[in-house]
């Protein structure tokens, strides 16, 4: 760990120690001593442990089936720092295993966007432009979930809305403020019918009210109804 920007996996409040039984699926090409080292130096991050628990993007590995599942339908995720979209999303779907052993080399080159920024607790570790790109990537996660709600609810019926709550946590934004963001509300209005088809109208309204607050939810629903009325008037 070269900066305080990432969690110290073995001493973090998030996650639990890996038990020997958890590594039964590790390929047998590892020796017993290597398997025991992996056990001692790994921490499991449960799906509900939202936040940022991972190393830079080049040190992360993904399960292909999850990667395909979460891939956005629109070209809305930046071609750089794609971990800002996939890491919180995929971990919320299935959890993570963080390994505290050097397994790769990471070269910081002269034009690296992070290398010239001082690292310290309480300091932003990237540029304003990167913060804006990261924010857009997080919003893309909401769009993917809302636009394909029936698909995700089919496999995560009890945790669908909890998965959506993972988006603001890495940036330190409260759930209330995030779901009152005009961009997020536009996304939810655009895909409101899909959310209702997946969760039912009563459950959808309950979940949105819990996140937006009663007053904001009432305004949101009025805009949904107004949009539906305009759409009906334009149908020949």
pLDDT in tens, 117-150: 666 656 555 667 777 777 778 888 999 999 999 9
**Angstrom distance (rounded) from CA 84 to CA 4:** 18
Give me the mean pLDDT over the 2-26 stretch.
Answer: 53
Give me the mean pLDDT over the 41-55 stretch.
Answer: 86
At residue 52, the pLDDT reads 83
Radius of gyration of the chain (CA): 20
Q: Are 178 and 168 in contact (CB under 8 A)?
A: yes
Answer yes or no: is pLDDT of 57 > 80: no
pLDDT band, very low/low/confident/very high, at 2 (cuts 50, 70, 90): very low
Mean pLDDT of the chain, nearest integer: 81
More confident residue, 44 or 6: 44
At residue 1, the pLDDT reads 36
H-state helical runs in the chain: 32-40, 64-70, 83-94, 128-147, 149-155, 160-164, 175-179, 182-190, 192-199, 201-212, 214-234
pLDDT > 90 in the chain, percent: 39
pLDDT band, very low/low/confident/very high, at 200 (cuts 50, 70, 90): very high
Give me the mean pLDDT over the 163-180 stretch.
Answer: 92
Which of the residue ranges 6-10, 66-70, 221-225 would you say has the lowest mean pLDDT?
6-10
**Angstrom distance (rounded) from CA 171 to CA 162:** 16
pTM above 0.95, yes or no: no
CA distances from 31 to 26, 27, 38, 165 (A): 10, 10, 11, 40
Q: Are 125 and 3 in contact (CB under 8 A)?
A: yes
At residue 100, the pLDDT reads 81
Answer yes or no: is pLDDT of 199 > 60: yes
At residue 98, the pLDDT reads 85
Tell me the range of 91-100, 168-177, 210-219 where mean pLDDT is highest: 210-219
Q: Are 224 and 192 in contact (CB under 8 A)?
A: yes
H-state helical runs in 71-127: 83-94
Helix, strand, or coil here: 161?
A: helix
């Amino acid at each position: 760990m070269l900066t305080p920007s990432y969690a110290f996996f073995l001493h973090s409040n998030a996650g639990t120690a890996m038990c020997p039984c958890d590594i039964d699926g590790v390929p047998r090409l590892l020796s017993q001593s290597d398997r025991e080292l992996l056990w001692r130096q790994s921490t499991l991050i449960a799906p509900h442990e939202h936040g940022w628990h991972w190393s830079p993007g080049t040190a992360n590995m993904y399960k292909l089936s999850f990667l395909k599942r979460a891939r956005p339908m629109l070209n809305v995720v930046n071609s750089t720092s794609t971990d800002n979209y996939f890491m919180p999303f995929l971990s919320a779907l299935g959890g993570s295993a963080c390994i505290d052993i050097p397994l790769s080399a990471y070269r910081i080159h002269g034009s690296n966007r992070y290398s010239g920024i001082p690292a310290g607790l309480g300091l932003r570790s990237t540029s304003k432009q990167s913060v804006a790109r990261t924010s857009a990537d997080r919003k893309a996660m909401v769009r993917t979930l809302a636009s394909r709600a029936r698909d995700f609810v089919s496999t995560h019926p009890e945790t669908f809305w909890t998965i959506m709550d993972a988006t603001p946590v890495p940036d330190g934004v409260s759930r209330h403020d995030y779901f009152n963001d005009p961009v997020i509300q536009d996304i939810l209005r655009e895909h409101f019918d899909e959310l209702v088809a997946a969760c039912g109208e009563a459950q959808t309204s309950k979940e949105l009210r819990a996140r937006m607050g009663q007053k904001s939810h009432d305004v949101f629903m009025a805009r949904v109804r107004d949009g539906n009325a305009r759409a009906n008037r334009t149908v020949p």
